Structure formats: structure tokens, C-alpha cells
Amino acid sequence: MADRCNHNHDHDHEHDHEHGPCCAAQPASLDRLAAQEKVAEGIRTAIRIMQMDCPIEETLIRSKLNRMSSVKSMEFNLLQRALTVVHDPDALDAILGAVRSLGFKPELASAGRSLSAAATKKPWWPLALAGVAAIASEAVGWLGMAEWLSAVLAILAVAVCGLGTYKKGFLAIANGNLNINALMSIAVTGALFLGVWPEAAMVMVLFTIAELIEVKSLDRTRNAIESLMKLAPEKATVQQPDGSWQEIEASEVTVGSMVRVKPGERIGLDGTIVTGSSTVNQAPITGESLPVDKAEGDAVFAGTINQASSFEYRVTAAANNTTLARIIHAVEEAQGAKAPTQRFVDRFARVYTPCVFAMALVIAILPPLLMGGSWHDWIYKALVLLVIACPCALVISTPVTIVSGLAAAARHGILIKGGVYLEEGRKLTWLALDKTGTLTQGKPVQTDFEVRAEMSADQCRHLAASLAARSDHPVSQAVASAAELDGVSRANVEAFEALAGRGVRGVIDGKTYYLGNHRLVHEQGVCSADLEAQLDVLERQGKSVVLLNDGQQVLALFAVADTLKDSSRHAIEDLHRLGVKTVMLSGDNLHTAQSIA
């Protein structure tokens, strides 16, 4: 949304000033439009335009509304197919009328129709049929068959895939805008009148394919953002005034409300724990490789996953202002931030396109009038100029390339804040890399095992695996997975109990065993000086340690860590050879970060 909060009537400059009230985070949903609201310069209204799916339509609308003094600023979001206008209080009807005059069907937020409900998937067969007809028209010409057959096939191809282009071209010409659709419509129509049937059909089919590629590129980016939105659940269990609990829409939960989260549920809103404790997987937000123990007074974030036990927390941010919502909002804004190349191409096309059209007119008219040339030949040459000189390659390919680059990066877990930063990548000297899931596997595995008592290694692993298999903590799961891979058997565990923030306990063959962390053995008084020293060494290596004990002594220790990807070292070396220095970012503790670095 590159034009957010442009407070003069030049809608092309960059958005680089302080964020004011109109820049508050919008609801984190592609389906929802912001409600109409008052701002300093008038009324801010969000309008859904389902037919607006490429920069050509955006330019046409911008050109039309720029002429209206009642329009103070505009921002476009092609992902949402939304236009947000700041306007005078009584100007909304005129704005909607102006948009309708361009052949679009504007809808207000109050219409209640979501993007997913309004979007209709276009069938693929018309373009396929047009392509076959265009190729057949070419083949008829090559084979020297009847010209009328080539004409019929060409007209069929243009009619099947080109009516939309003709409609857009007519509206553009009617509004004094010689855009790509207008030039294509003129060129194809002229070719048909001259009887150049195959060329007319093929130009229209190729242009339609180019438009389709652009729409698909935006769809890929839209899907990447929707995957972020799915991190947060749509509903939350909220305490009512009478003390009961009711599941309601997360967007309706107010700040200060009490929310209950069950084990395995995603947390719907940011907040602070009031009652209970648990472990929370915060990797989607903070990138921490292992779940974090949470107790009363600790902060939790929307989109993270509660793992161990139920707790209640007080909401500290509304659904449209959570940490996750702000991340999504930043990504949505990024898609509209035009890169320097895009801004140049937009300015260039505004001058270049009319010049091309004027040159084509000169070529078509002057030689036959002044030099006695053939009208057919010179009009044909003018049409060739229109097709060849048409700025499709610039105006379409530039935003498509940038959007495709952003989408490709998003599919690989890299969120680039717009084409501005994508282009600036060539100047990169330092690169900050997230640790979890980028440099590391993102999943803990057992790295160390040591027997600490008079017991066989197989017996220790047998007992530990039996307890770990009953736990849902990732550290325990890593111990259980390693034992399973090595074919270690498991015993039946009775009286199993999870010890919050410490580990687990269970009875095996009539004897109680514990599998827990450093804190547990310390509280049990079975942690010796040499064990403390060994634990310190392992923890400095960024490893999480669990210990098996029988209440009297520590029997064995197991170390678990998020290991480095095989490809990470080579990738870092390649970056260094390119002259790019690297720094690692992590939400983990200092020892863990240093062990990976």
C-alpha cells in the first residue's frame, strides 16, 4: 500500500512520513475491509473492486479519481482488490459513480461480501480454445487453404479471449487513457480490417496469456499472506460476565477479556497469563527452536501453540493489533510499495504510450497522402509499430517480475517488504538470518546420551523412552524418537504424571522414575557438583538436557538440540564469497545462539 496517508493530491510519492492515526493496523484478513471512519482530512472509505487485478486497472482508476478535488488521497491493494479513499464527507457517491463509469463494480465494506465469496475462478477452456483457434488460423495460412477459414478461426480466437480486452480498451479511450488495452484493441482491430487474420488472433491470445500470468503472480502472493493468517484461530474461549465460558469470534474479543486455552490449541490473541502454566511453541512468532515454559505473568502471542496444559490469560491487544496481525499488515503494505524501477516505468509509460500512438497515426496517414504510398501497406506498418512498441514488456513484466520475486521468497520462508527492498538487494553488504528453521532444522533431535549410574545403557534408554513416549514435550519426543529409531523397547507406565515446568513421573515395574530438567533434579537434591559442571557445558553448547532419575540418584542424561542444516554452512560460505557479511538473529538464549554461530 505504497500510497497510504498521502496527504496531498500527488499520489505517486513514497510513503515515508510518520504513521498517523490513519496508518493503524487493519484487521488481519484478506476477506475483511476496514469500516468507514473519520480522519483528519475527511472520511476514509474502503472499496472492494473485484475486477481490479493488475496495475493497468489501478492506473486507470487513479487517473480518473486524481481529477476529483474531493479525493484527498488513495491507496491500492491488489491482493485484496481494494481501494481505500480519503474524501470529503459528501463525495462518496460521486467516487463510486466515477469507478462505475470505468466498467468496474465497486462494493463497500457494509455489503458484507468477503473476497473469497466474491472471487470467481475463471474457466480455463476459453483461453485454450482461443489458442487452438489462433494456431489453426496460422496453419491454414501456411498450408495455403481457403482464406475464409483462416478468418473464421481468427475471429473465433479474438471473440473468445479478447472481449474483455476490447471492453477495457474502449473504456480507457473514452476516458482519455491510451493504455495497453487501448493499443492492443486498436492493433488487433486494424489487423482484422486489413485481413491479417493469423497475426490478429495470435497477438490477442499472447496478450491474454500475459495478463493471466500477472494475475497468477498476485494469487501466489495472496496465498502466502493467507498462510500467515491461518496461524491465528478465528475463535477464542472467553469468560462471560456471569463467569461462564463461551467460544466467540477472536475479532470480537476486547482488551482485558479473560481467555482460556486448552493443550494443543493455537493462542488466538496476545495476552498475559493469569492462571495456570504450560509450555508454548513460539517458533511461528519468535523463531525459538524449543517450546518456552510459561507461568503466571508471562506474555503469550497470537499464532503460537499451547502444548502442555490449560491456562487462562488476559488479552492485551485486539485481534487487529496483535504481534501476528502487525506482521501480516506489514506484508500486505509491502506488496503496494513500488520499487524505483516500477515508478520510473509508470512515469515513462504515461509519456511513451501517447507518443507511440501519435507516431503510428503519422506513419499510417502521411506517406499515403504526401508520397502516394499504399494505404494498406502503411496502415499495416503502423499497426506493426503499435504491437512492437507497445510497452507491455515494461508495464506488465516489471510488476509481475517483482511480485513473482516476492512470492518466490515467501514460499521459501523469506518475507521481503516490497519491491523497493528487493531491488536494493544488489547493494547488500550485511544479511541477518533467522536461526530456527533457516539455519537449523527447526526440530530438536537427541545429540548426547550418558549413563550416570550402575545400570546398562539399554536399560536407561528403555526407561527413558517409556516415560518420554507419554509426554508431548518436544524434548521428550526427541528422546523417544531416537530410542524408536534404535529399536529400543518400551515398558508399560503406570501412574503417569506431568510435572509442570519440570518433567514427568511414572511407575515402571513397581518403581517410580522421573524424567525431567535441571530444575527437577536440583529440587530433588540429587544434583552433584560434577553433574552441575557437565550440565553447564552442555547448556553452553545450546543443548537442552533431561535427566532420568529414581528419586535417589541420576541414572542417565540426554541432551537435545536443534541441529544445523547441512546446506547452511555452504550457503553462508557462498554469501561470504559474494562479499556479503552475515549475522544471526535468534530468540534463544545466548549459549544456544553462540553454539550455532
pLDDT in tens, 361-420: 899 899 998 888 888 889 888 887 876 776 555 555 666 677 677 767 766 667 676 667
Domain topology for 21-118: Alpha-Beta Plaits (3.30.70)
Task: Cite the active site residues.
Answer: 434
Residue 137: partners with Cβ closer than 8 Å, 6 or more residues away: 150, 151, 153, 154, 157, 197, 198, 201, 202
Q: Sorting pLDDT into bands at 50, 70 and 90, what band is 299? A: very high
Average pLDDT estimate for 240-255: 91
DSSP 80-115: TTEEEEEE-TT-HHHHHHHHHTTT--EEEGGG---H
Residue 389: partners with Cβ closer than 8 Å, 6 or more residues away: 356, 359, 360
pLDDT over 70 for what percent of the chain? 79
E strands along 500-553, which residues? 503-508, 511-516, 544-549
DSSP 118-149: H--PPPSHHHHHHHHHHHHHHHHHHTT--HHH
Three-state secondary structure call for residue 293: strand
Give pLDDT, residue 99.
Answer: 92
The answer as to CATH 3.40.50.300 being correct for domain 439-564 is no
Give pLDDT, residue 498.
Answer: 82
Give pLDDT, residue 1.
Answer: 35
C-alpha to C-alpha distance for 282 and 437, rounded to whole angstroms: 13
CB 437 within 8 A of CB 540: no
DSSP 381-423: HHHHHHHHH-THHHHTHHHHHHHHHHHHHHHTT-----HHHHH
Q: Sorting pLDDT into bands at 50, 70 and 90, what band is 51? A: confident
DSSP annotation of 580: -
Give pLDDT, residue 416.
Answer: 73
C-alpha to C-alpha distance for 520 and 547, rounded to whole angstroms: 9
Q: Sorting pLDDT into bands at 50, 70 and 90, what band is 16? A: very low
Q: Is the pLDDT assigned to residue 474 strictly greater than 90?
A: no
CB 66 within 8 A of CB 3: no
Domain topology for 235-321: 2.70.150
Residue-wise pLDDT for 301-351, tens only, equals 988 888 877 899 999 999 888 887 877 776 666 555 555 665 676 677 677
Residue 250: partners with Cβ closer than 8 Å, 6 or more residues away: 232, 233, 234, 235, 236, 268, 269, 302, 319
pTM of the model: 0.52
Q: Is the pLDDT assigned to residue 199 strictly greater than 80?
A: yes
Largest CA distance in the chain: 111
The residues spanned by each domain of the chain are 21-118, 125-226+335-401, 235-321, 439-564
Residue-wise pLDDT for 486-536, tens only, equals 998 888 889 888 887 788 899 999 999 999 888 888 888 888 888 888 888
Establish how many alpha carbons lie within 13 A of residue 580's alpha carbon, considering only the half-sphere containing its beta carbon.
Answer: 16
Nearest to 41 by CA among 71, 83, 82, 76: 71
- Partner residues linked to 584 by β-bridges: 433
